[in-house]
Amino acid sequence: MKKYNFVAPCHFGIEAVLKREIQDLGYDIVKVEDGRVTFEGDISAVCRANVFLRTAERVLLQVGRVKATTYDELFEAVKAMDWEEYIPEDGKFWVKKASSIKSKLFSPSDIQRIVKKAMVEKLKLKYRVNRFAETGNEYPLRVVFYKDEAIIALDTSGDSLHKRGYRKNTAKAPISETLAAALIMLTPWNKDRILVDPFCGSGTFPIEAALIAANIAPGMNREFTAENWDNLIEKKLWYDAINEANDMINDDIEVDIQGYDIDGEVVEFARKNAELAGVDHLIHFQRRPVSELRHSKKYGFIITNPPYGERLEEKEQLPPIYQALGRQYKALDSWSAFVITSYEDTEKYMGLKATKNRKIYNGMIKTYFYQFMGPKPPKKKENLR
């Protein structure tokens, strides 16, 4: 079966997590770059990657990579590509987005115009027509320039993969579903360990943890642009991916996942979102301030996204919040804590030095993932007969 290259963009700083996810799906890694992972697979990878990947922002089907420092070079390189293998005669095609970093060609609108023009010229020759009706299925493209090299790719996902379909109710400044999943996967947490988010907001961390625990694929309940590409992908391949995902679900499990927030309305939002995600039976949500964070069991995890205070007047309110988080965490016997925030005085006011501190970009905001590692639980002794 023919092999293709796929590009999976992700948040800066979590490339290693996405790489591991892709390898776990059985695909070979071609290249890892800042903010994206390129991998190889057959056409069914479009379906499986969109349905199963928790940390990718979208799945792009790479048509080509080209070096170009002039618009003439870009035009000729794009025109030389085999567009007829991807886009049917009635297909609607356009460059949905172009970006450029450290490249001589830096105007997104000009890049979009030249790429579209080159595609039209190539397809006019192949289909022997002078114009295209573009009344058929949609084939959006993305062009990513970096250091004069461009990735030319079809966007198979449509809406970003962080849009799982469950977060209808949002609180202020929610963390994205893909980033929340990636941060959980950066920790040693597993479904046998307690997880508490004392600033749960819309419930994203607890819900993503429950989806991971129950092995529920994140893309099961949404649509993708490439589902309509019947010239490239048989419908059966989409059904196969969903059936595979259904077979893997195990939500009849015992877990201890909790979400607290000081705002009662926000807690209700989180409960409703968990219901939409099908994991409300796996999570306990409660209105509770961080000052009342406590748990009787040992070896638990705090994974949370506390207030950042991006505005000056908000920053003034942060010290007591982080002091309370640090105080309550210290009182928890043998727990670990993982905190994503842009607040530079996190360690100062928590009164703790992080074991590790990882730089992560949450959208355009530079944040840090503070990791306060507690001891590992003792290994369970096997019963000897």
Residues 168-218: tens digit of each pLDDT = 877 666 799 999 999 999 999 999 999 999 999 999 999 999 999 999 999
What whole-number distance in Å separates Cα of residue 110 and Cα of residue 116? Answer: 10
- CB contact at 8 A, 39 and 28: yes
Strands 195-197 and 301-304 come out as parallel
Homologous superfamily (CATH) of 177-215+250-372 is Vaccinia Virus protein VP39 (3.40.50.150)
- What confidence score (pLDDT) does residue 312 get? 55
Give me the chain's average pLDDT, please. Answer: 95
Q: Where in the chain is the domain with CATH 3.30.2130.30?
A: 4-155
pLDDT for 222 beyond 50: yes
Write down the pTM of the prediction: 0.94
- CA 166 to chain CA mean position, Å: 14
- What confidence score (pLDDT) does residue 380 get? 74
Work out the average pLDDT over 3-22.
97
261 strand-pairing partners? 287
- What confidence score (pLDDT) does residue 310 get? 64
Amino acid at 299: Y
Work out the average pLDDT over 6-27.
97
- The two tokens of residue 212 are 């991971």
What whole-number distance in Å separates Cα of residue 377 and Cα of residue 385? Answer: 24
Rg (alpha carbons) of the chain, rounded to whole number: 23
pLDDT for 309 beyond 80: no
- CB contact at 8 A, 136 and 127: no
pLDDT per residue as tens digits for the range 104-146 = 999 999 999 999 999 999 999 999 999 999 999 999 999 999 9
Instruction: Give domain 4-155's CATH architecture.
Output: 2-Layer Sandwich (3.30)
pLDDT per residue as tens digits for the range 153-182 = 999 999 999 999 998 877 666 799 999 999
Based on DSSP, count helices (H) and strands (E) in the chain, helices before strands: 11, 14
Work out the average pLDDT over 2-8.
97
